[in-house]
Structure 1
Amino acid sequence: MTTYTKWMISLVSLMLAITALVIWLIQDRFFKSDEISIQEASQKVESLYGGTIESFEQKNAIFYMAIKRNNQLYNLQMDAETGVVLKVNKTGEEIDTEQTASLKTIDEIRALIKSLNKGTIQSITLQNQDDKQQYIVEISDNQALKTIVVHAQTGEILSEKIQEQNATESNNPVIITSEKAKQIALSQLRGSIEYVVYKESSDGGYYLVEVDGEDNEAVFQIHAVSGKVLSVTPNYDSDDDDSDESDDDAEENEDNDENDDDD
């Protein structure tokens, strides 16, 4: 074996090792499964601080919660990967217990939106706007993301707005289209597009594209100029009650089959 052949074999081995390392880093970044669940986060917060969670929202790798304790509201931020509480601050607002008692629950708002066939619920957040309690509901429908504002006491829909999907080319002539952003996201995770929205920023803006894969869902943040994937966030908030009901029905059928066998 010549020196050149040995050198080539060493070079190929090194390239294979580097390729394997890059693939591992990509998988570790894009498809981490070590984030704590919403239920685990809620239980941890309630055990630490007591009270009840009024609203819950996840953005990127941060859980945002509003907690009611002793007739006071607190805002809390938690790291979605480690479960570490990053910030807790009192809103300074004392809760009107009579008004709170008349508020519709998140489950009631979810049932209301489902009955209207508005689309797939992505998140529901209770907010105080001009001393009025209202729910902000984000829904994906026909690859668009809608924001619906619902009166927290009456359930009346106050407004409905489709978030912007495409960037304005006048701001940046080399900006990529929403269709290109969808292609980039699908190249990272095979599945169907839930929604795509465009967000302006000082560095050229970015797209948020949610892909519903076979085994998981993820939201890709894609730079609107370079097309680079800036972040990938697993999505556990979308409405999957139907699948849960199907699982329950399947378990019930299995139990019935076992009872029949025993008979």
Structure 2
Amino acid sequence: MKNLRKPWVLPLIFTIIILVAGGLFIGNLMKNKTPLSSEEIQMHLESIYDGKVETLRLENGVYLAEIMRTDALYSAEIDAVSGKVLVLNQLSKVEEAQPRILSEKEVREEITKKYTGEIERLSLNKNKEQPVYDAEVVKEKALVELQVDALTGEIISEKMKETTTKDVLITREQAIKIALGQLKGEVEYVVFEKTDDGGYYLVEIEQDNEDADDLEAVFHIHAITGEILFVEWDD
């Protein structure tokens, strides 16, 4: 206690306390100014933004990053000491990948797995909510209308077109006879189309030419008069 009474002791104690406190303060200050590692920054960004850090570099105490999310690419500036995001900008939007539409060849292959007849018509229809292929296939000398999913090749619907009706004078068989009278060959299909004036038949005949390509014709035959309205030739 006698030492405390000496005039130089108390100033010395205060000086030591100040030096220790100052040393602790400076130590903490230096510690706080140590930049976070790039690994820590990357983990932090990917955690809060649920994305992937594409690029990351440190410049003048600030980390510059590019972050790819499912919706877009972003740029960010992050305080290197605190990890606080200072700036975040969207660079570009990620375009949503469009589903692939099957080619006509692929759809034909899917149709022939179920139908052995000839495919008379096949066209892509994009006017629906989901794109489909509209097709007509020969089955047992009749035409079947199909709708095929353009993305999967699944047959969505099928409908047999009418081949005859009772409310006409010309029967299906008579229409076939009229067509064969114009072109000898094999009947591919017969379809009846309703109209206000009695309707008409579509009769497709395929002529087998041994010395040339097969000749096909579709005869439009009035169901009341038996008149051949016109002929579609396909050689």
Q: Which of residues 93, 113, 132 is equivalent to 2:111?
A: 113
What residue number does 2:144 align with?
146
Pairing 1:137–2:131 present: no
The aligned amino acid for 2:221 is I
1:122 deviates by: 0.7
Aligned-residue offset at 1:97: 9.1
**2:123 aligned partner:** 125
The answer to whether the 8 A contact 2:115-2:137 is kept is no
- SS of structure 2 residue aligned to 1:164: coil
Segments of structure 2 that go 5 or more residues without pairing to the other structure are 1-94, 209-213
Instruction: Find the aligned partners of 1:150 and 1:98 in 2 and give their Cα distance.
Output: 22
Q: Secondary structure of 2:178's partner?
A: helix
Residues 23-74 of structure 1: per-residue CA shift (max 9 Å, x gap): xxxxxxxxxxxxxxxxxxxxxxxxxxxxxxxxxxxxxxxxxxxxxxxxxxxx
Counterpart-to-counterpart distance in 1, 2:148 and 2:129: 14
**Which one-letter code corresponds to 1:188 in the other structure?**
Q
Q: What does residue 193 of structure 1 align with?
A: 187
Report 1:1-263 matches (<5 A). 98-99=97-98, 102-169=100-167, 172=168, 175-214=169-208, 215-235=214-234
Partner Cα separation in structure 2 for residue 153 and residue 235 of structure 1: 31
What is the alpha-carbon distance in structure 1 between the residues aligned to residue 97 and residue 232 of structure 2?
38
Amino acid corresponding to residue 232 of structure 1 in structure 2? V
Secondary structure, counterpart of 2:204 in structure 1? strand
Query: Quick one: structure 1 residues 102 and 110, their matched pair in 2 at CA, closer, same or farther if it must change by over 3 Å?
Result: same
Deviations 1:92-143 (A, max 9, x none): xxxx9944x5110001011111222341111101113532210011111221
Tell me the residue number matched to 1:60. Answer: none
- Shift of the 181–155 alpha-carbon distance from structure 1 to 2, 3 Å rule, reads same
Q: Which has the higher helix share?
A: 1
Bigger RCO (CA 8 Å, 6+ sep):
1
In structure 2, C-alpha distance between the alignment counterparts of 1:97 and 1:211, rounded to whole Å: 48
Change (3 A) 1:129 1:168: farther
Provide the rounded CA distance (Å) in 2 between the counterparts of 1:113 and 1:163: 17
In 2, Cα distance between the equivalents of 1:213 and 1:152? 33
2:118 and 2:109 map into 1 onto residues whose CA distance is 12
Separation of aligned partners in 2, 1:235 and 1:109? 23
Query: TM-score under structure 1 normalisation?
Result: 0.49
Note the residue ranges of structure 1 that are not aligned, 5 or more in a row. Answer: 1-95, 237-263
Percentage of pairs with the same residue: 40
Q: What SS does the corresponding residue of 2:174 show, helix, strand or coil?
A: helix
Give the RMSD, CA atoms, in angstroms.
Answer: 1.9
- Aligned-pair CA distance for 1:202: 1.6
- 2: CA distance, partners of 1:207 / 1:233: 13
Equivalent position amino acid for 1:220 in 2 = F
Query: When the two structures are aligned, how many residues end up with a matched partner?
Result: 136
CA distance in 1, matches of 2:166, 2:133: 30
